[in-house]
Amino acid sequence: MSNWIEITAINEIPVLGSRVVETGGQRIAIFRGKEDAVFAIKDSCPHKQGPLSQGIMHGTSVTCPLHNWKIDLASGQALGADEGCTNVYDTKIENGMVFLQL
Amino acid sequence: MKQNLVLIGNGMAGMRTIEELLKLAPEKYNITVFGEEPYGNYNRIMLSPVLANEKTIEEIMLNDEQWYVDNNITLQKGNKVTEIQRGYKKVIAEDGTEVPYDRLIIATGSTSFMLPLPGADKYGVIGFRDINDVDTMVESAQQYKKAVVIGGGLLGLEAANGLMKQGMEVTVVHLMNTLMERQLDAPAGKMLKESLEERGMNFLMDHSTEEILGGDRVTGIRFTNGLEIETDLIVMAVGIKPNIDLAQNASLHCERGIVVSDTMQTFDPNIYSIGECVQHRGAVYGLVAPLFEQAKVAANHLAELGIARYEGTMTSTMLKVTGIDLFSAGDFHGDDETDELLFHDVANGVYKKIVIRDNIIVGTVLYGDTIDGTWYFQMMKDETNISDFRTTVLFGQAHLGDAGHGDETRVAMMADSDEICGCNGVNKGDITSAIVEKKLFTLDEVRAHTKASASCGSCTGLVESLLAHTLGGDYSEAPSKKPLCGCTDYTHDEVRSAIREQGLETHETVRRFLNWKTEDGCPVCRQATNYYLLCEYPDYNDPQSRFINERAHGNIQKDGSYSVVPRMFGGLCTAKDLRAIADVADKYEVPEMKVTGGQRIDMFGIQKEQLPAMWKDLSEAGFVSGHAYGKAMRTCKTCVGDSWCRMGTQDSTGLGVKLEELTWGSWMPHKYKLAVSGCPRNCAEATIKDFGVVCVDSGYEIHIAGNGGIKVRVTDFLVKVDTEEEVMEWCGAFSQLYREDAHYLERTAPWVERVGLQKVKDALATAELRKPFYDRFVVSQKPAQIDPWKKHADGADANEFTPIKV
């Protein structure tokens, strides 16, 4: 039941930056790390639903712009002393294009 | 093939080194730890509270046995190392165990110095150093009545207090006539003695012990003056003695302690030594803060990063006796070249003394009111010139009208339910229990676990005091240098000078050159480094290292929408301007508008996708970004001035517009506000701004470093000048000095308090000195005044604002 959707060219996402994908009323943040690691995570912090896409990415995590929660992009888990989790999605890159599995 | 690392001494210093090492290089070594005591690692500074029944042994455990298992560390507990064979690079323990090492750490600590008195070998004569001593004291208290503590120093008084809490009748014997004479002067020592006497402690001052009396067990003590008193227990607390026998027998160079270099290495480079057994640059330490700094350095070298140096620690002291507030640091006696500032309120039991040399604090003793101890200590370490507030410094930081530190309420007297961190709703009880239960030692750890002081930071001082109070007295909470963030051991100033001196031009080169611990850094260091790079190279910009507000040129709101504030120079506007803003508000269906404190109009609830189009319309109507979102120059507030006001002395609006035209768009360490008032009635509130001008009939007064935020701070008067041109010159020069000298996220108020007003005055004293600052400011403004709104309206970084729809 793999449902891969083509999103955008990898080069359209800044390194250590993100783009927002809107699909069926929900927003998903696509992050690009060093060496073209790509992560997809629900654009909503488990704390107070801050837009994670607007945060600063470092390593494989992102810091929410509203209250500085640090979220692991691979698992969606809050890191450090905070507790919470948000949805993550599978991604892949083929021929320079990013695909997202919903 | 992993190397073998052996640690001798399972105490706080040694284990801190291991913990630091595991953070840096978790897989590098097979680690074996030898500990003489049959426990895991416990917090030795908490022994006094344990004796006083305020804590249990379980509560003061730092690493329990499971921790060693979880971290693959072999713990040889209750097993004493008896020999180091440097030739074979191995250690041999009491039970015959032999462990080879590639690297060895000696952290054998210290023992109580036992006076070699006749009778000192009797039962009931002990030191005060470990759990075993505490157990002996508690057992004695159950069977016997009377105790004598020899030594009226820090440790002796804590032991005496604990024994009193255990129900014993305690006499403290002291050789000198002042208690804690290494930490207190005579008046403070006297106050301490009186309040301890009120609690029931007895003292024999100026008494020297001759002999300990009794059979197998002690029954009494005789002094050199012939006096004899009965006692069932004698605790010797006359000092500590570094444990150096093991090192000495291995022919390592020792004096008072094991001599180490700045890299914590002994004369055998394979052998490190840290903690109370060490002698570094002639000093032997008995407090915790230096040990933690040493541990960091040793770990750095063991991980083969090779960049850290230990340069000694300035220490401060507090007494861990509940209800007695006492703080001491540095040279509190002074000499012919020092001045004393004194405050003595006998009835209220408050004594404060600050010793200064050339207006720099070199020592302090506080009794009864110690809340400002950490502040004085910090200024002592920073060598802050206090000449500008010398007359009020004794009244404390709150009296100074400090900015950014909040109201320093007496932390010890606060109830558990009192709120400390207003941003995150964290109260005192939350913080103290987190410190105890989660075994937190540093401000960063408290921030991570409780969020206290992690947002606006105004309660940082309060949290630090609380940390000090909770952890116990002699824990000196402020490290001698504060690293920029957890990714590096370097300070703001060090990172900045590396950028300047080494010509580092990108984030990556900064992190590589300074051996950052994380590949990408974290939001804290990325934003700070970005500012430092941008300050050095005005064209520099790395959008991904800036907070979203500065990337999207709007202020992110709690629902993820943005606010838009167009600039209105000096607060002046026309009907056409207002109509244009009203049209934009209608067109984009702005849900709410507000007139701001900075005399302009804020439009709320804008979706990110709408921003570029809205900016385009505003830009076409002649507006530029108001930078209401950035660590940047915000506004120049003005009053009406002599163009209309019958009181006005100068054209304050006109000057305000000129100042805003000079400074708009400028990126700053923090937000930066200007104001111009047309007369001393000061309707534009210029005396709470970062740079304020008050016009008077004869010219212009320039005031700096005010703050109307968390804690109101009135500006310091900088200079009076005659012409508008001079105001502009001073404004450019002062702004640039602040940009180049302050730490990122440090507003002008705390910056000036840290470096001293005199430094600012000196740096800008003459036109020749001001000119290069002014010129550099003008250069930095060239790229900064290309309106970011227009740039984005014209299509820059369109991706940032457009979601991908699928």
Domain positions in chain A are 4-101
pLDDT at A9: 92
- Compare B635 and B401 and report the one with higher pLDDT: B635
Measure in Å the smallest separation between the Cα of A32 and chain B Cα atoms: 11
Band the pLDDT of B754: cuts 50, 70, 90: confident
pLDDT at B324: 81
**In this structure, what token pair is assigned to residue B462?**
């309060």
Q: Which amino acid is at B518?
A: T
Nearest to B100 by CA among B92, B108, B110: B92
**Which residues are paired to B699 by β-bridges?**
B696
Q: Which residues of chain B are within 8 Å of residue A5 when distances are taken between CB atoms?
A: 806
pLDDT at B312: 86
Segment (H or E) for B164? helix B154-165
| Chain B positions touching chain A (beta carbons under 8 Å) | 424, 448-451, 454-455, 518-523, 526-527, 543-545, 547-548, 552, 556, 558, 560, 799, 803-806
pLDDT at B406: 40
**Which residues are paired to A92 by β-bridges?**
A99
3-class SS at B501? Answer: helix
CA B480 to chain centre: 8
Q: Which residues of chain B are within 8 Å of residue A56 when distances are taken between CB atoms?
A: 523, 526-527, 544-545, 547-548
Phi, psi angle pair for B388, to nearest 5°: -75, -20
pLDDT at B480: 56
pLDDT at B407: 41
Q: What is A4-101's CATH topology?
A: Rieske Iron-sulfur Protein (2.102.10)
Mean pLDDT across the stretch A39-48? 93
Q: Is the pLDDT of residue B558 over 60?
A: yes
Lowest-pLDDT range of A53-62, B444-453, B457-466: B457-466
Beta strands in B9-120 (DSSP E): 29-35, 41-42, 61-63, 73-77, 81-85, 90-93, 98-100, 103-106, 110-112
Q: Which chain A residue has its CA at the smallest distance from B546's CA?
A: A56
User: Does A22 contact B527 at a Cβ distance shorter than 8 Å?
Assistant: no
**Euclidean distance between CA atoms B301 and B309, whole angstroms:** 9
User: Does A68 contact B523 at a Cβ distance shorter than 8 Å?
Assistant: yes
Mean pLDDT across the stretch B335-349? 90
Band the pLDDT of B130: cuts 50, 70, 90: confident
Q: What is the pLDDT of residues B451-495, one digit of tens each?
A: 888 777 767 777 877 887 777 644 554 555 678 988 998 999 999
CB pairs under 8 A between A and B: 84
Q: What is the pLDDT of residues B243-289, one digit of tens each?
A: 999 999 999 999 999 999 999 999 999 999 999 999 999 888 887 77
Measure in Å the smallest separation between the Cα of B792 and chain A Cα atoms: 16
pLDDT at B400: 60
Q: Is the pLDDT of residue B571 over 70?
A: yes
* Residue whose entry in the numeric block shows the structure tokens 């004479």: B181
Q: Which residues of chain A are within 8 Å of residue B451 when distances are taken between CB atoms?
A: 67, 81
Which residue from A7, A27, A66 is facing B558, i.e. has the nearest CB? A66
Measure in Å the smallest separation between the Cα of A2 and chain B Cα atoms: 16
Mutant choice from B444, B453, B520 vs A, greatest count of A C-beta within 10 A: B520
User: Does B556 contact A59 at a Cβ distance shorter than 8 Å?
Assistant: no
Alpha-carbon separation of residue B14 from B34, B42, B240, B260, B262 (angstroms): 10, 11, 18, 15, 17
Q: Beta A88-89 vs B81-85: how paired, if at all? A: unpaired
Q: Is A23 on the interface with B (CB under 8 A)?
A: yes
Q: Which residues of chain A are within 8 Å of residue B526 when distances are taken between CB atoms?
A: 56, 58
ipTM of the complex: 0.93
pLDDT at B231: 96
CA B17 to chain centre: 21
Nearest to B172 by CA among B198, B196, B146, B202: B202
Alpha-carbon separation of residue B70 from B30, B62, B64, B438 (angstroms): 13, 14, 10, 17
User: Does B560 contact A59 at a Cβ distance shorter than 8 Å?
Assistant: no
Band the pLDDT of B688: cuts 50, 70, 90: very high
User: Does B520 contact A57 at a Cβ distance shorter than 8 Å?
Assistant: yes
Which residue from A21, A34, A55 is facing B804, i.e. has the nearest CB? A21
Which residue from B454, B805, B806 is facing A68, i.e. has the nearest CB? B454
Q: Which residues of chain A are within 8 Å of residue B421 when distances are taken between CB atoms?
A: none
What mean pLDDT, rounded, does chain B reach?
Answer: 89
Q: Which amino acid is at B8?
A: I
Mean pLDDT across the stretch B152-172? 92
User: Does B547 contact A65 at a Cβ distance shorter than 8 Å?
Assistant: yes
pLDDT at B318: 74
Q: Beta B555-556 vs B562-564: how paired, if at all? A: antiparallel
Q: Which chain B residue has its CA at the smallest distance from A14's CA?
A: B544
Mutant choice from B530, B799, B805 vs A, greatest count of A C-beta within 10 A: B799
Cα radius of gyration (chain B):
31
Measured at the CA of B108, the angle between CA B104 and CA B113, to 5 degrees, comes to 155
Neighbours of A48 (CB within 10 A): 12
**Euclidean distance between CA atoms B375 and B392, whole angstroms:** 14
- Compare B74 and A80 and report the one with higher pLDDT: B74
pLDDT at B395: 86
Answer for the pair B8, B105: CB distance below 8 angstroms, yes or no.
yes
Q: Report the half-sphere exposure of B483 (CA within 13 A, side-chain side).
A: 17
3-class SS at B30? Answer: strand
Mean pLDDT across the stretch B161-167? 91
User: Does A16 contact B520 at a Cβ distance shorter than 8 Å?
Assistant: yes
**Which residues are paired to A38 by β-bridges?**
A32
pLDDT at B403: 38
pLDDT at B388: 83
Measure in Å the smallest separation between the Cα of B454 and chain A Cα atoms: 9
Q: Which residues of chain B are within 8 Å of residue A80 when distances are taken between CB atoms?
A: 448
Lowest-pLDDT range of A21-30, B425-434, B572-581, B700-709: B425-434
**In this structure, what token pair is assigned to residue A66?**
């509203």
- Compare B676 and B797 and report the one with higher pLDDT: B676
Residues in chain B: 806
**In this structure, what token pair is assigned to residue B423?**
């941003």
User: Does A22 contact B548 at a Cβ distance shorter than 8 Å?
Assistant: no
**Euclidean distance between CA atoms B276 and B259, whole angstroms:** 11
Q: Which residues of chain A are within 8 Å of residue B448 when distances are taken between CB atoms?
A: 80-81
Q: Is A97 on the interface with B (CB under 8 A)?
A: no
Answer for the pair B45, B474: CB distance below 8 angstroms, yes or no.
yes
Q: Which amino acid is at B251?
A: S
User: Does A67 contact B455 at a Cβ distance shorter than 8 Å?
Assistant: yes
* Most confident stretch, B419-433, B479-493, B538-552: B538-552
Neighbours of B1 (CB within 10 A): 3
Segment (H or E) for B414? none
Burial class, B715, CB count within 10 angstroms (exposed 0-12 / middle 13-18 / buried 19+): buried
Mean pLDDT across the stretch B501-508? 94
User: Does B449 contact A8 at a Cβ distance shorter than 8 Å?
Assistant: no
**In this structure, what token pair is assigned to residue B325?**
């507030």
Hey, which residues 57-86 in chain A have their CB within 8 Å of chain B?
57-59, 63, 65-68, 80-81
pLDDT at B537: 95
Mutant choice from A4, A20, A68 vs B, greatest count of B C-beta within 10 A: A20
**Euclidean distance between CA atoms B223 and B212, whole angstroms:** 9
* Residue whose entry in the numeric block shows the structure tokens 């700070």: B528
- Compare B455 and B155 and report the one with higher pLDDT: B155
Measured at the CA of B327, the angle between CA B321 and CA B331, to 5 degrees, comes to 140
3-class SS at B36? Answer: coil
pLDDT at B472: 60
Q: Which chain A residue has its CA at the smallest distance from B545's CA?
A: A56
User: Does B806 contact A21 at a Cβ distance shorter than 8 Å?
Assistant: yes
Q: Which residues of chain B are within 8 Å of residue A30 when distances are taken between CB atoms?
A: 804
Neighbours of B8 (CB within 10 A): 28
CA B499 to chain centre: 24
Which residue from B520, B522, B806 is facing A23, i.e. has the nearest CB? B806
Sheet strands side by side (includes A97-101): A4-9, A97-101, A91-94
pLDDT at B408: 43
pLDDT at B349: 86
Answer for the pair B139, B168: CB distance below 8 angstroms, yes or no.
no
- Compare B64 and B458 and report the one with higher pLDDT: B64
